[in-house]
Structure formats: structure tokens, C-alpha cells
Amino acid sequence: MQSRLFSFKNLWVILILVATSTQAQYSEIFQKYRDKYPDASVVYLNQESNLFITLNNGTFDIVQENIEENLYLNEAATQGSQKSINFSSFFELEDIEASAFNFEDNKYKEEKVSEFTEKDEMGESFYDDTKSINFIYSNLKKGSRSQLKYSQKIKNPRFLTPFYFGDFSPIAQNKFSITADASVNLKFKQFNTEGVNIAFTKQEKRGKIIYTWELKDVSAFDYESQSSTYKNVLPHVVPFIASYQVNGNTVPVLNETRDLYNWYYSLIKDVNQEPADPELIALTKSLTDGLDTDLEKVKAIYYWTQRNIKYIAFEYALGGFIPREANQVFKKKYGDCKDNSSILYKMLEIAGLKGHLTWIGTRKIPYSYEEVPTPIVDNHMILSYFDGSDIYYLDATGRNIPITYPSSFIQGKEALIALDDTHYRIAKVPIIPAEKNSVKDNTQLKIEGEQLVGSTKLEVSGYNKIDYIYALGNLNTKSERDNFYNDIFQKGNNKFIAQNILETNKDDYDKNMIVTYKFTIGDYFKQFGNQIFINLNLNKYISQYRTDPNRKRDIEVDYKSYYTFETELQIPEGYQVEYLPESQTFGNDFIKATISYTQLDGKIKYKHTVTCDYLILDLNQQKEVNELIKNVEKAYKEVVTFTKSE
């Protein structure tokens, strides 16, 4: 018995030693944050940015020092080994230090990064002077830490960047500070900080003013598809230099929109001063000769530019802000948004018309010019044309965009329109109504044997047409096109087969696209004895707008839409209608639907409409929409019943 007891004691000691040894593999800070954030793979222990703004005889010296310290909580640590820091002619990288810390023998041991590699960053259709420094943290694993310190020289005082108090991983410590000469007047705008306990201090010390924001223990922000920009979610501060004092004078930098406009205009005022290329003049005249109105001339020039100037962006240094000469764009047949606007401007001028260069932010930028009069408020250039009280927003970087439609991604945004060297106008781009982005499906249907046989005329307009044509342009083989057609046209079930497809007006910007086709659907209706049951809800389109009830963020769509499905079913010979579902109407402020049935001239006439009348839904609005969809889906289950005539 004593020997057995001794064995149990030894086993207990061994178990304690093993547990202690296992525990000692990881640091106390690891245990703390693993317990606190069990679902996280990494915790940012410190996210810190310190900005130093010095003024020397009216010249700015601006340096931003950054510190990032991470703790890795699981085996995915190796995914964080590769690190990259971008820089450019505006943000010059000065110093960089990086180290990995691995926990061994109850302490962290530092392994400094010794090799840093520089490379250009280029996309398929976007080229700028952005470069990156790339390096690898050595031997990162579960429980490791990393530390990165680097500084950047900000070459232009208009290019201060926001600081975000959150990320898609938890953050233990956020700190943002600005140390500026007292002669520098700074402004700050905070976004998404309601209910967020950010500690702010301001102190003056030896002719410097130090502004500090701190926030601790920030949970991870979840990414969800179709969410609006993270700038609408993450708490952040946007700093900008409003003005500064020199020799007793106040010099504006970005105090208001006018200051931003004055700088922008200084960059474009000398563009297109050279005489137009004779070939460009001849082209413009050939496009506009014989047209009766100015708007028709604008349209002809605009559509030519969309079709013939390929979008490729080369944005080196201030080239990201200054349009290239129209003659150069014409010869090369490519350019970025500014270049497209430049050639449009010049061609309108040749035709005796006046266009206006226009700065605008896409919907991924949530700020107004009054809130944030800095270059981060916009990221795009178009051309505006005034026709009486109407404004046309011409974006030639797109394709197949009618003149009456702005690009979908600038709907509802403010446009900063250049009028002359001192005057500008801020106008709001309209949001296109749902009815102008329509899909209208008109179907004739009959029962032949065991199949449904039909023909459809589909009319597509607005942004729906643009998306349709874009999708077609990416299909290279007949097989790909057949799969696309059968997927997008599908009715009833997966035994739908479309054939004899004919497209009309695909390349006509101003006409709705018409698609006609014939089809069959197998195994769809049910026949029992002397009765036939058929569900005429062949397109249950509203279901695509349902959102996950566990969703945590808003949801955004590209544009408002309207769908209508009209189906005429021939009553089978020798049968009569026994049951016809009741017509129903559903609606709230965001989505509406109708379903109606009528019997006329030996046919059942079915009509279903869906109106998506929103761009963004918050969580409560999503619940409203989901509830409506649930009710519509109940109506989708209704069937028409035919009984054999006696």
C-alpha cells in the first residue's frame, strides 16, 4: 500500500512539473491576452504615432515617428512574419528598426531584423511613385512578440494623415500625439468617437504645444462583406494645419475649403495652354458637325472619350494632382482620371463649349469639404458641364455610362467644381432613382408535355445595364457566355435552359438594352390526377436582399434598383382555374414589393415588382427589411391550381 501511495505521489509531482513547464513556455502577458481575447490571433500591444511639426522661417519640417508592438496568440504567428512599409515622394522613410522577441527560459530574447529590401509597388492599371520596404521577423511563433519603429518625413504640410483608434485585431494601447510650434494653428476632426473614452490632453512647453490622444483596450472590429468604408466605423482623428504665424502675419494652409481650392487651382491653372493638336481639332469637329444642340455635342465627345481613352494611372509625385496635357493624352490614348478630364476639357473648348474640372471623393470617403478641407476629402477628378440649371458629371474613366448618369461610386457625394482662379462651386451629385436602374422581364409561358416552354423579352437600364455589359466583357468563350446567360436568366429551377439569345442596343449608351431568348424548364410544375399545380414566382428576386441576422455592421449596395417580372401563362387546354392566389403589397421605407394575379383571355397574368430604395442600411433597418422579405417569401409559396374541365 505504501509503495502504491509513493507511486501516486510521484505521478502527482510529475504532473505538476509538466504543467509548470508547459506554463513556462509562455509569458504572463501572453496568458493575459490569450484569456482576454481567445478568438484573436494577434493583439497590438502598442499602436503609437508621434508627429513633430516645426516651423523655420515659414518652412515646415514635419516628422512622424511610429511604433508598433504585436503579440501573437496562436500558430498563425508565421503569417505576420512578412512586413511591408510603404513610402513615396510625399512620405519619405527615414529610420527603421524591427525586432522579433521569442520567449525562452522565462524571458524574451530579441532577434533584430538585419535585412530590408526596397521595391516598387505597381498594380495592373495604376502606377505611382509608391515604394515599399520589406522584411521578415525571424522565427515568429505562438507567444512571440514583434516591435517596429520607423519615422517618415512628411514633405507637404497638407498631407497629415488620420490616426485610427482601432483595427481588425484588438489593441491594448493606442496613442497619438502632435508636438507643434506654438505659431502653428492646428485643427482636428474626430469621427466615430461617440461613446469612446479617448483621453485627450493639451499642454504648452517651451514654445511647443503638445496634443495627446490615448485609448486603451480596444476590441477588434469585425470585417463583413458589403460593409461601408471602415472610415464610417473606426474611431479616428483627422489633424490638419489650418494656418501659421510668420513675421506677425497669418498664413492660411487649410483653414477652410477656399484654401484647399486655391492650392488645387494652382496645380491646374497652367494645364492645356499649348495649341490643340490639329488631329484632335479635326476629330472634335467630325464628332460634333451636324449636331443641333450643345448637349448633343458634349455627349458625342464624352462617349468618344469613354470608348477610346484607356484608364491607366501614372501618378508620380504631384502628377497625382496635375492633369497631363490633352495633346499628350490624345496621342497615347490612355490616362488617369485627371488626364481623361483634361482631354474632355480641351475637346469641349475646341467645340466652343465650357467644361469645369471637378474634384470629388468616392463613397469610400465619408467626409465633406467643410468638415475636412484637406486632400484626404477627395480621390477622383471628373469634368462637370452646366446646361442651364442642370449639371452633368462626366467621368470618362468608366465605360458605357450615359451622360445622364454619374459614376455609381460618386452618387450623393460633394463635387468641388472649378469656375475660375478665385471662384468654385460645391454641388451634390444626385442619387439615381431605383426606377432608372431597372430590369424588366416580360415572359410568355405555356405547358408542353412535362416541360414549361417560354420566351422572354428582358429590358435593362442604367447601372444594371452597365454591370451587365461589364460582365459580358470578361467572358472569352462560348461556354463561359452560355453559363453566364443560364445563370443570370434562370427561372424556376436549375433545369432552366436558355437558347436563341439575341441582344439589342448593347453598345448604344442612350437606349435600354434588350435581350430576347427562348427557354425550357423541366420538372417544375406538378400534375396529380386531374389537377395541375404551378408556382408562377419564377424569379424570387427579393431573397437576395436578406442579411444575416447576426450581422454586426451596416450594409451597402452600389445603387438603387427596380425589378419587374410580368408573366403570361396560357391556361392548359381542357383545364380551368380552380385557385388563383390573392394579390399582395409589401413595403417599408427601404424596400417594396408587389405580387398580383389576374385571369384574362385564357391566360393567367402574373406581375411581381421589387424596389430596392436604399444605398446603406444600418442594423435596425436590416431587421425591417428581413421581416418584409420573410413575408414576401411566404407569398412566393402560393401556387395556381388548374382542374380538368368536365
Return the HEC string of 46-77: EEEEEEEEEEECCEEEEEEEEEEEEEECCHHH
> Residue 90 — pLDDT band, cuts 50, 70, 90?
confident
The radius of gyration computed from the CA coordinates of the chain, to the nearest angstrom, equals 32
One CATH from 3.40.309.10, 1.10.1060.10, 1.10.3720.10, 3.10.620.30 for 258-428: 3.10.620.30
pLDDT digits (tens, 9 = 90+) for 227-265: 989 999 999 999 999 999 998 899 999 999 999 999 999
- Burial of residue 12 (number of CB atoms within 10 Å: 0-12, 13-18, 19+): exposed
Q: Spell out the CATH class of 434-644.
A: mainly beta
Rounded to whole angstroms, the Cα distance separating 413 from 378 reads 10
DSSP-derived pairing of the beta strands 310-311 and 334-335 = parallel
- Annotate 280-310 with three-state secondary structure: HHHHHHHHHCCCCCHHHHHHHHHHHHHHHCE
How far, in Å, are 297, 385, 406, 432, 461 from residue 293 at the CA level? 7, 14, 21, 24, 24
Rounded to whole angstroms, the Cα distance separating 491 from 81 reads 49
In Å, how far from its chain's centre is CA 165?
A: 21
Rounded to whole angstroms, the Cα distance separating 433 from 518 reads 31
For the beta carbon of residue 285, count every other beta carbon within 10 angstroms: 11
| Residue appearing with cell numbers 477588434 | 220
Read off the pTM.
Answer: 0.90
For the beta carbon of residue 90, count every other beta carbon within 10 angstroms: 18
pLDDT surpasses 60 at 166: yes
pLDDT given for residue 21 in this prediction: 46
Residue 274 · residue 327 · CB < 8 Å: yes
For the beta carbon of residue 313, count every other beta carbon within 10 angstroms: 18
pLDDT given for residue 16 in this prediction: 45
The CATH number assigned to the domain with range 28-252 reads 2.60.40.3140
Which residues, listed in sequence order, are joined to residue 143 by a DSSP beta bridge? none
pLDDT surpasses 80 at 4: no
Residue 444 · residue 568 · CB < 8 Å: yes
* CA proximity to 165, closest of 232, 213, 200, 224: 213
| Average pLDDT for 127-133 | 71
In this structure, of 31-45, 317-331, 542-556, the range with the lowest mean pLDDT score is: 317-331
* Percentage of the chain exceeding pLDDT 90: 81
Contact residues for 567 (Cβ-Cβ < 8 A; gap 6+): 443, 444, 445, 536, 538, 605, 606, 607
C-alpha angle 253-231-558 in degrees, rounded to nearest 5: 115
| Residue appearing with cell numbers 469610400 | 364
Rounded to whole angstroms, the Cα distance separating 587 from 599 reads 25
| Residue appearing with cell numbers 496613442 | 175
pLDDT digits (tens, 9 = 90+) for 301-330: 999 999 999 988 766 556 678 899 999 999
How far, in Å, are 454, 566, 585, 592 from residue 609 at the CA level? 20, 9, 10, 8
Rounded to whole angstroms, the Cα distance separating 562 from 613 reads 8
pLDDT given for residue 479 in this prediction: 84
How far, in Å, are 388, 475, 524, 552, 573 from residue 527 at the CA level? 62, 39, 10, 45, 14
pLDDT surpasses 50 at 6: no
The residue ranges of every structural domain in the chain are: 28-252, 258-428, 434-644
C-alpha angle 244-246-250 in degrees, rounded to nearest 5: 50
pLDDT surpasses 80 at 3: no
pLDDT digits (tens, 9 = 90+) for 135-153: 999 889 999 999 999 999 9
Residue 69 · residue 45 · CB < 8 Å: yes
